[in-house]
Amino acid sequence: MTDNEKSEKGGGGPQAMLRGLLVVAVLAVVVVIGVVLYTKGKDIVKSPDGPQQVAMLDQEAIYAMPEFKSAKDNLEKLSNDLQKQLVEKVGDAGKPKMSMEEAENLRLQMREKLEQEQTKQLKPLYDRVTAAIAYLAVERGYRVVLDKKIVVTGVVDVTDEVKKRFQESKDATMPKEAPEAESHVGYVNQEVIAQLRLYKEAQARLMEYYQSQMKDVAEQAKKKALSQEDRERLQQELMQAFQVKQAEEFKPVNDKVNEAITAVAKEKGLSLVLNNTHVMWGGRNLTDDVIKKLVNNPPAKS
């Protein structure tokens, strides 16, 4: 069997490399700052929010419920179908069916379709969980409910009670009471931060580099048939170069964001700042303050 035949039957080759780097390029848009964004080094149980005012929730147990599993299975099927459609329509790097620009536009259209379906299926479930947590927190007087992953000990686990409320009611209405102003725990919405110009510009530069690399792959594939060893070597070189470029573009930006988060946390006298996905209820939203700090003191362009 020739190398080209192996490629057509789903093995390695330029097409596989294109798909692999395409996934990396999509993931590169995620802002990877961290989980604990700032801490004074205090145990949260001993903070002003105290053990009687802090609770924890096992997110994995919540998202393992049948309602979430069914939605995720549907989304996984849609994702696989879209991936197959993308591969079929784009073609192999040696025999492309469209230009790189057309392929990129198609990829973005499919990603948007998947994101829309994610919102449609998962948001109502997330809203119900949030409402269940909120009502329990208000009833018990919790100022903040944290993800169980980041709590060591000494905090009450409300997972079973939240699951029970979720199963008993489909109401996603939130209570009017909000403990934000009193909490010594803050959070930052990284999805919002990722929409800032400094991240968009870094992503654009990374995508430009990615497209340049893909053109080189296509040219090499046209010139000669690549052996399995050549394909593996080329793929490894491309991935390593891409990761270096990714770090080069995003590390200075992430460092600047972390500096802004630390400055805001100190100004407000907070004990702990987390990624918003780990604060299930309560806490103080620092996102706007961090954005203002970044706008007033933007990072130097690379």
Task: Count CB neighbours of 37 within 10 A.
Answer: 24
Q: Is the pLDDT of residue 10 over 60?
A: no
* Claim: this prediction has a pTM higher than 0.75: no
Q: Please state at what angle helix 100-140 crosses helix 66-90, rounded to 10 degrees.
A: 170
What would the mean pLDDT of 196-206 be, rounded to a whole number? 89
Q: Is the pLDDT of residue 13 over 90?
A: no
Task: Count CB neighbours of 270 within 10 A.
Answer: 22
Q: Where does the pLDDT of residue 11 fall: very low under 50, low under 70, confident under 90, or very high at 90 and above?
A: very low
Write out the two tokens for 66. 């049948």
pLDDT, position 37? 53
Write out the two tokens for 187. 């959070």
The percent of residues in the chain predicted with pLDDT above 70, rounded, is: 76
List C-alpha distances in Å: 134 to 121, 125, 158, 266.
Answer: 21, 14, 11, 27
pLDDT, position 289? 95
Place of tokens 């990829």: 107
Write out the two tokens for 31. 């802002």
* pLDDT tens digits for range 55-64: 999 999 999 9
Write out the two tokens for 237. 């070189």
Q: Where does the pLDDT of residue 38 fall: very low under 50, low under 70, confident under 90, or very high at 90 and above?
A: low
Distance CA 205, CA 216 (A): 17
pLDDT, position 88? 86
Please list, residue by residue across 138-153, b when 16 or more beta carbons sit within 10 angstroms of its beta carbon and e when fewer do: beeebbbbbbbeebee
Q: Where does the pLDDT of residue 21 fall: very low under 50, low under 70, confident under 90, or very high at 90 and above?
A: very low
pLDDT, position 171? 85
Pairing state of beta strands 144-147 and 279-282? antiparallel
Task: Count CB neighbours of 275 within 10 A.
Answer: 19
* pLDDT tens digits for range 50-109: 446 889 999 999 999 999 999 999 999 999 999 898 888 887 656 778 777 788 888 899
| Amino acid found at 214 | M
* pLDDT tens digits for range 275-286: 888 888 888 999
Q: Where does the pLDDT of residue 191 fall: very low under 50, low under 70, confident under 90, or very high at 90 and above?
A: confident
